Structure 1
Amino acid sequence: MRIFLPFRPVVIATCAAVFLLVTACWAGITSNLLIEPGKQFALGGGQLGAFRVVAHNVGKVPVEIKERPRGGGNFGKTTLAPGARGTLRFMAGSTALLLNPSAQQARLDLKITGDTRLSMTYEANGKQ
């Protein structure tokens, strides 16, 4: 006995789309980030959820990482020496600041998970 399912291709396509969406959200963002001397990279700000950054300093200069909470101000989280790795968590609405205070280009490999609807921009070091 054969069962006729007229919407079978639609059901399969829908399930595949949902699977891809869930996988993409779970996978997060992977980035090879370059930061010019005297600049900082601002990640996030205003997003509804928290996010996590796993960073690996693959460059030759240390990189400072700070958090700018939704209400303003900055506070230090850590400094990643060349070759160092770190996992940092940022609150909902916060901005992660990755600062390059050196005279050479900084390079980081990042894996970002959580609420990844984040703005991304470069700023001059020390901008509040």
Structure 2
Amino acid sequence: MNESILETVAKAVGIGESYDHFNDELIMHINTVLMGLRQIGVGPSEPFLITDSTATWSNFLGDDKNYEAVKTYVCLRVRILFDPPTSSTLADAMKNQIAEWEWRLNLEYECNKQKEGETNSGE
């Protein structure tokens, strides 16, 4: 899970690896999405920002494999911000996927928080 966040998102929105003209805009949108994830409990407790292609998914998520869906969620959210579809049907489908992944990621966080509470109270 050590791949670059920026490179993953750029590829997902259809930008080739060697084309970095949109990196500043993508970074801005990625950081916006990462802030939102932090607010629902996903990612590090301290604010996390990327500034270039060196930030990796493991920097953001650590070794927790329960949050692999974060990649899909971030790519979908950035795509809507960066290059929204012209078809309202496609836009609605993407928004529905975003809402589902956001709900599932928050649910995963709440379940993990509950398990941690049970473990800590049992010690």
Q: TM-score, normalised by structure 1?
A: 0.28
As a proportion of its length, which structure holds more helix?
Answer: 2
Q: Which has a greater percent of strand?
A: 1
TM-score (norm 2): 0.28
| Larger radius of gyration between Structure 1 and Structure 2 | 1
